[in-house]
Amino acid sequence: MQLALQYAQLKTSIARAVPSSRPHMDVPVSVEEIAGYLYCSERNVKFLIRKMSEMGWIVWTPGRGRGHRSAIRFLASAEDLLLAEAKLLVEQGNLNSAMGLFQMEGLDGVVMDRFLAWLGSYFGYRGTAECGNSETLRLPMQIRVLTLDPVNVLFSRDLHFIKQAFDTLLYFNPMCGSVEPGLAHAWASNDDATEWTFYLRKRVKFHHGRELTAEDVVFTLGRLRTIGTESSPNRWLMQSVKDIRAVNRLTVRLKLHAPNYLLPHYLSSYQAAIVPADVYSAVSAADSNMLPVGTGPFRITRHDKGGVTLEAFEDYYRECAHLDRIELMYVPDDVSERRWQQLNFQMGKLNHYTRPAPAHWRRKEIMMLGSSTLVFNLRKPGPQQAAHFRQAIQLVLNRCGLIKELGLHHARPAADFLPPATPGLPPDDDQPERARALLQACGYVGEPILIICTKKNIGQVEWIQASCKAIGIPVELKVCTYEQMTNVQLLMEADVVLGGVVADDDEARCLIEMYKIGNMPTRLFATDEQRQVFDDTIAAIEADPDAERRLQRIRAMQALVSDSYAVLFLLHTTQQLVYSPHLQGITFNTIGWFDFKNIWYRTDSLEDDGALPV
């Protein structure tokens, strides 16, 4: 690869230095000049010239005699050589480096289009004849997986992959809204829900071959409640647990500090997924290079800077996955939105608002269970401490205008953490005069505020920035990575964070998370008094034996943050997928992904529809 890259660098550098040069034309140049173009020694240049000549890429004519320069004639297309190298890199699993080859100045921009066209044929479904008797699905992915350790999961993308590799004691069924058996085939509690007993299935195997026992459950739940700090995302799940012990090889008993009828919901959370004690007791939780070991339908055999690979686990205790292998490769962060949409179109997953899909393709859409939010830091001095200031921002968000101007066709205005069952009236949030009056009433004198967000939300923050500027509020913007958005110290620098809440299928548990996760802004930015109210309210809900009443009380907790404008709800979004009818088993979950285990490819009546499905 290095030789092809150096050839392209040399050719484009000489083209810039000698604008009159043409293909297959002798261009005067010295070894010294080439060393400068390639940032290497003259000795190395002579070696490179010999290798390029042997490859038939150049004709090199040495200068003879004093004052006579050497000449180089380029025979090969730099774009063709880089394209060949890029294909090889992709086949080795490194899409990021492959696309990086085309960032060189002076290349014909069409080469990227050629590469993406080839990539469209590389990705997608591959049958047994093409992949050595295994069915493989290859997908591009733009946002990286941060962690595959259940105890550290915070973002929905990471959670999706955790679900592929791990299982939980219990399973929450979103179709009927109830908790069902998982790794535990049965469970029971005493009368006041302060003691719970779980009975494990026999012959469940971890990916490394050992059978699941009660000791693994004791280790996992103990690890969950002790690892990290109070701001760690998932310690709260075991907050009510006083003691965990193995009664026998397949029975586990938990004793609680207080009644908790929500404990089965907490244990169905994949943040409480069961891990093998012999593997995870030997490694640090911060070991990001460790491949996960669970009992789930897929083994994760690769997780690095290039992507993630999943292979079906043949000893899975439930129905095995249909596909043998799923390969996901990361697309570089600097790929433009146009290029990403072009790649998505060739993959079959496309923005069908702007580009039509084949008429016979199928379409699925789901409203994500959550919303984007603006959360104000009430633990830091500043104008955001005044409720009137926060209300003033609420009155200039103009969510409908934001959706229209930014072309967010998949979004609708939010007034709650969760989308309503039926759309309501548009919000009355375009009142700049009233907002100015509120700012005057609270004594605001023009101090700037800092909003932190991810790259994904820059457009929305710039809209908010302009809206605030119109009423005299200067807004500074800081863009952070997803990993930085988990850093408590960094988040505490902000006056406001624009983020998102994407809940899993269990509404009750996921709404409680908003008030319990230590490094989530809703709790992180709350005052000590607010945090105590959160905890007392949740403890009372946990002690309520009536499930319907619990859910109503959980939903009502929103008033604790919305009535004071401590949290402003911005947008609900839908996730949409357009795909070939040959791809079967597609079912969306509320975090915007489809379950890999259920996907299969129908090959009995393939048609040439011009694109590959994803």
- CATH number of the domain residue 53 falls in: 1.10.10.10
pLDDT digits (tens, 9 = 90+) for 550-575: 999 999 999 999 999 999 999 998 87
Task: Answer yes or no: are the C-beta atoms of 153 and 147 closer than 8 Å.
Answer: yes
pLDDT exceeds cutoff 70 at 288: no
Same domain (yes/no): 103, 18: yes
Whether 352 is in a domain gets the answer no
- CATH number of the domain residue 282 falls in: 3.90.76.10
pLDDT digits (tens, 9 = 90+) for 529-544: 999 999 999 999 999 9
Whether 209 is in a domain gets the answer yes
Q: Is the dihedral of CA 380, 382, 387, 393 positive or negative?
A: negative
What mean pLDDT is reported for the chain? 87
Same domain (yes/no): 83, 197: no
Closest residue by Cα to residue 363 from 374, 373, 352, 355: 352
Task: Answer yes or no: are the C-beta atoms of 429 and 397 closer than 8 Å.
Answer: yes
Whether 250 is in a domain gets the answer yes
Tokens of 341: 């949409």
Tokens of 167: 């299982």
Same domain (yes/no): 458, 570: yes
Task: Answer yes or no: are the C-beta atoms of 518 and 475 closer than 8 Å.
Answer: no
Same domain (yes/no): 118, 156: no
Q: For the residues of 66-81, what is the DSSP string, one character each?
A: TTPPEEEEE-S-HHHH
Whether 393 is in a domain gets the answer yes
Same domain (yes/no): 106, 197: no
Same domain (yes/no): 113, 170: no
Whether 229 is in a domain gets the answer yes
Q: Structural domain of residue 517, as residue ranges?
A: 366-574
- CATH number of the domain residue 451 falls in: 3.10.105.10
How far is it, in rounded angstroms, from Cα 298 to Cα 314? 9
pTM of the model: 0.85
Average pLDDT score over residue span 351-367: 63
Same domain (yes/no): 118, 177: no
How far is it, in rounded angstroms, from Cα 574 to Cα 402? 16
Same domain (yes/no): 80, 165: no
CA distances from 54 to 48, 60, 89 (A): 10, 11, 23
Whether 356 is in a domain gets the answer no
Q: Which of 65-74, 377-386, 476-485, 507-516 has the highest mean pLDDT?
A: 377-386
Whether 168 is in a domain gets the answer yes
pLDDT exceeds cutoff 50 at 609: no
pLDDT of residue 594: 76
Q: What DSSP character marks residue 102?
A: G
Give the phi and the psi of residue 400 in degrees, each rounded to 5: -65, -40
Describe the strand order of the beta sheet including 362-367 as a list of residue ranges.
362-367, 571-579, 411-413
Task: Answer yes or no: are the C-beta atoms of 464 and 405 closer than 8 Å.
Answer: no
pLDDT exceeds cutoff 90 at 258: yes
Using the CB atoms, write b or e for 308-326: b if 16+ within 10 Å: bbbbbbeebbeeebbbbbb
List the beta bridge partners of residue 578: 363
Last residue of a domain, one of 312, 331, 349: 312
Whether 325 is in a domain gets the answer no
Same domain (yes/no): 98, 159: no
Q: What's the structural domain count of the chain?
A: 3
Residue identified by tokens 């990403």 is 340
Same domain (yes/no): 408, 468: yes
pLDDT of residue 226: 86
Rounded to 10 deg, the angle between the 528-542 and 547-556 helix axes is 170
pLDDT of residue 610: 37
Same domain (yes/no): 117, 160: no
SS3 state at 327 = strand
pLDDT of residue 109: 80
Q: Which of 14-23, 395-404, 422-431 has the highest mean pLDDT?
A: 395-404
CA distances from 205 to 216, 224, 512 (A): 12, 21, 32
pLDDT exceeds cutoff 60 at 427: yes
Same domain (yes/no): 271, 164: yes
Last residue of a domain, one of 292, 312, 332: 312
Task: Answer yes or no: are the C-beta atoms of 348 and 563 closer than 8 Å.
Answer: no
